[in-house]
Structure 1
Amino acid sequence: MAAVDEVIAARLTTNVPLIGQVARYIISAGGKRLRPAMLLLVANALGYQGRFHHEMAAMMEFIHTATLLHDDVVDESTMRRGRPTANESFGNPASVLVGDFLHSRAFEMMVETGNIRVMQVVAAATNIIAEGEVQQLLNMHDASLDEAGYLQVIRSKTAKLFEASTQVGAILAGAPEGLEQAAATYGQALGTAFQIIDDVLDYDGSAGEMGKNVGDDLREGKSTLPLIVAMQRGTPEQAQTVRSAIEQGSTEQLADVVAIVRSTGAMDVARQAAHDEARRALLALANFPDNAYTAALRELPEQLLARRS
C-alpha cells in the first residue's frame, strides 16, 4: 500500500495546481483504500510477480475518488470522512472537473499495461457504475422501490468497482477463467455487503463514527434496505411515516423513522443480508491457494461487517 501511495502521488503531478489540490484533499482524507488493497491481495494470492499491480491499485483508487467527487455534487453533500466535502470547500465546478481528470488519468494508466482484458473489464465497469448512478437518481424519492431494485443499484453503483478490482488482480496474475470469475464474485459480494452495512449505519451510527451527516440518505430521498424492510414489516401508519419521509426528502421525522426502523427489526434483516453476502464472498475463495494473502481475504468480510464508519 505504501507503493500504491507513491504511485498516487506521482500520478497526481500536473501543471494545473488546483487539480492536485482538490485530488489530494479527498484522497488524503483517510479513506479505507479497500479497492486497491483487495486488488493487491488477490494478485498476490494468485502468485503475481510483476509491477503493474501497484499501478492498477492506484488506478482503481482514482476511479473511486472520481465517483466520490461527482456523487457529492449530485447529492449536495457537505461532509465526507469527517470533514467538508470537496464541493463544499472548492465548489461544484472544480469537483466535477477534477473528477473528470482522475477518470482520464486512470484510463491513461490502464492503457499502459497493454493488457486488453484489463481494459475490457475496467471500461465495462465504469459504464455500469455510471448506469447505476443514473438509476439511483431516477429512484430518488421513490418509496415503491423493492429489494430487487435496491440490490440492482448497489451492485452497479458500489459493488461493481470492488468486483473489477478483484477481477483485475486475478487477470494480472494470469489466473485461469474459473479463478478469475471466483475473484470477481468475491469482490461483488463483498462490495454488496459493504454498501448494505453503509446504509444500515445511516440509521444506526453517529456523525462522528460515520464521517458524514446522519440521515443524509433520507434527506436525499434514498430508499435503502432498512427503509424498504421497515415499510414491509411496520404497521400501515409506520409505513406511511417512512414513505412520506422518503418522498419528501425530509429529515424532520428522522427520529421517528429511526425508531420505526429499529422497532420493526429492519436493522437485523439488513445486517443478515450483509452477512449472507459476506458468506457468498468467502465461498468464492474455496479454490484459492492457501497463503497469507488468501487468509487476509478471508478475514476481510468479518471486518467489514463489524465496521462503524
Structure 2
Amino acid sequence: MSLASPAQESRRKPSIEAIVALTRDSMGEVNRMILAMAGSNVALIPEIAEHLISSGGKRLRPMLTIASALACGYRGGDAHVKLAASVEFMHTATLLHDDVVDESDLRRGRKTARTIWGNQASVLVGDFLLGQAFKTMVEVGSLTALDILSRASAVIAEGEVWQLSASKKLTTTEADYLGVIEAKTAALFAAAAEVGPVIANAGPDLRAAMHAYGLNLGRAFQLADDVLDYRGSTAALGKNIGDDFREGKITLPVILAHARGSEAERRFWREALEENRNDDGALAEACRLLDRHGALEATVARARGFGDAAFRAASQLPRSEIREALLEVVEFSIDRIN
C-alpha cells in the first residue's frame, strides 16, 4: 500500500496517538523503570539523565518494542518492559554523545546537557546509561534479544564515527549517506522492533518482518528530519532550524543539490559547509538552491519509498489494533514534513 495513495491522503492527519494509547500501561511501567535505572549515589548522574529523559521526547523506540511484542502475542511478563527501557537508555546515551560531537546547544527545545554540565559529564553519563541498558537486557534472559541489541549498539557507534568522518565532505555519495543513517538511526529502530517477536516466541517470518519494518521506518524518519532542518520549525524539530547546515553536516538534500548544481553553486556549498561560511544569509541561499534543484522533494520521495517498505513489512502482522497503530506510525513519520 503506497503512502502516497489518494485514499491515504484523504484520511485524517496521521498521529502516534493510537500507539501511545495502546501501549500506555506498559509504557507507564517503562517510565518507572527508567527512573529507577537512572538512580545513582553520584548525584550528577540522575540530574543529567532526568534533564534529558524529561525533555518531552516521543519515546517512539521503546513504544515499538512494546507494540511489536504485543502484536506478536506476548503476554504475562515484564521482558518487553525491560527491553523497552533498555532501548530508551541506548537512545538517550546516543543523544548525549551526539550533542557533544555536534556541539549542539538545543535538544528538543531545551539546552543540551553539555551546555549546562559540560562535555565530559555528558559523555560519562551517556556511558553509564549504556551500562544500565545492558545490565537490564541481561535480566531478561534472552540471548537472542541481547545479541540483537548489542549488535545494534556496535553498529550505532560505527555510524557515529562514519558520520564524523564524512562531516563537511561534499564527496560523500548518496549511497554513503544512506549507509550512515542506516547505522546511526535505523539500526536502533530495527532492533527495537525485532526484539518484540523474539520474546513473544514468534516465528522467523514475523521477526524478519519487524526488523524490516523498523529499519525502513528509521530510514524514513531520518530523511524526514533532514528535510525539516531546512523547512520545518524549531517546535516541530526540537532544535534550531538550520543546525545541520551550521554544523557542516552533509545530508541527503545537500548531496542532491550539490550534484545537480553548477560549478558556482558547488563552490557555495564548499564555502558554506567546508569553510564554515554559514551565517543566516548563507542558510537562505542554501534553501534557495535546495528548492531550485528539487532536492527536498527528492528526499521526501526517498523517505516515502522507505515508508512504503515499512508499511508492507508491518502488514504481515496479524490484524489487530496494534498493527494498525504501527502502520500509522509510518505515515506520521513522513507526514511531519507537510
Bin of the TM-score, shorter chain as denominator length: over 0.9
Aligned residue for 1:213? 240
Please name the residue that 2:294 is paired with.
Answer: 265
- Give the distance between the partners of 2:243 and 2:131, measured in 1 at CA: 29
Output one character per residue of 1:127-173: Cα deviation in whole Å (capped at 9) or x when no partner: 11000000111001100111100000000001100000001111111
CA distance in 1, matches of 2:331, 2:251: 22
Q: Write out per-residue CA displacement over residues 35-62 of structure 1, whole angstroms, 9 at most, x where no aligned residue.
A: 0011111100000012111111111000
TM-score by length of 1: 0.97
Structure 1 pair 182–249 and aligned structure 2 pair: CA distance change class (3 A): farther
Match of 1:188 in 2: 215
Identity across aligned pairs (percent)?
Answer: 45
Equivalence map 1:131-170=2 (5 Å): 131-170=158-197
Q: Which residue of 1 aligns with 2:335?
A: 306
- Corresponding residue number in structure 2 for 1:39: 65
Distance (Å, rounded) in 2 between the aligned partners of 1:258 and 1:28: 33
- TM-score by length of structure 2 reads 0.89
Match of residue 60 from structure 1: 87
Q: Give the whole-Å Cα distance in 1 for the aligned partners of 2:50 and 2:116.
A: 13
- Structure 2 gap ranges (5+): 1-26
In structure 2, do the counterparts of structure 1 residues 308 and 265 end up closer, same or farther at CA, with 3 Å as the change threshold?
closer
Higher relative contact order (CA 8 A, sep 6+): 2
| CA distance in structure 2 between the aligned counterparts of 1:250 and 1:176, rounded to whole angstroms | 53
1:305 Cα offset (Å): 0.7
Long gaps (5+) in structure 1? none
Question: Is the 2:70–2:322 Cα contact (8 Å) retained in structure 1?
Answer: yes
Q: Is the 8 A contact 2:173 2:255 kept in 1?
A: yes
Name 1:283's counterpart in structure 2. Answer: 312
Matched with 1:75 is 102
Specify the SS of the correspondent of 2:41. Answer: coil
* 1:298 maps to amino acid: L
Give the distance between the partners of 1:287 and 1:193, measured in 2 at CA.
19
- Matches of 1:21 and 1:164 in 2, distance apart? 28
Show CA shifts across 1:105-146 (max 9, x none): 000000001110011111111011000000111001100111
- Is 2:245–2:273's contact at 8 Å kept on the other side of the alignment? yes
1:2 Cα offset (Å):
1.5
Q: Distance in 2 between matches of 1:170 and 1:242?
A: 45
**Corresponding position: 1:104 with 2:137:** no
Q: For 1:217, give the aligned amino acid.
A: D
Query: 2:261 is matched with which residue?
Result: 234
Deviations 1:152-197 (A, max 9, x none): 0000001100000001111111111111011001000000000001
The equivalent of 2:12 in structure 1 is none
- Structure 1 residue 211: Cα displacement: 2.0
One-letter amino acid of the structure 1 residue matched with residue 97 of structure 2: H
User: How many residue pairs are counted as aligned between the two chains?
Assistant: 309
CA deviation profile, 1:187-242 (whole Å, cap 9, x unmatched):
00000000001111111123233221222112222110110111122333223212
Contact 1:218 1:249 in 2 (8 A): no
In structure 2, C-alpha distance between the alignment counterparts of 1:207 and 1:158, rounded to whole Å? 20
| 1:308 CA drift (Å) | 5.6
1:11 aligned partner: 37
Cα separation, 2, equivalents of 1:249 and 1:117: 45
What is the CA distance between 1:270 and its match in structure 2?
0.3
| AA at the equivalent of 1:81 | R
CA–CA distance in structure 2, aligned partners of residues 307 and 2 of structure 1: 26
1:289 alignment partner, SS class: coil
Please say if residues 38 and 165 of structure 1, whose CA atoms lie closer than 8 Å, have aligned partners that are also in contact: yes
Say whether the 8 Å CA contact 1:231–1:243 is kept in structure 2: no
| Corresponding residue of 1:294 | 323
CA distance in 2, matches of 1:58, 1:308: 28
Q: Give the counterpart of 1:94 among 121, 124, 127.
A: 121
Q: Which amino acid aligns with 1:85?
A: T
Change (3 A) 1:208 1:179: closer
Determine the C-alpha separation between the residues in 2 that align with 1:175 and 1:209.
36
Cα drift, residue 277 of structure 1 = 0.5
Structure 1 counterpart of 2:155, from 113, 118, 128: 128
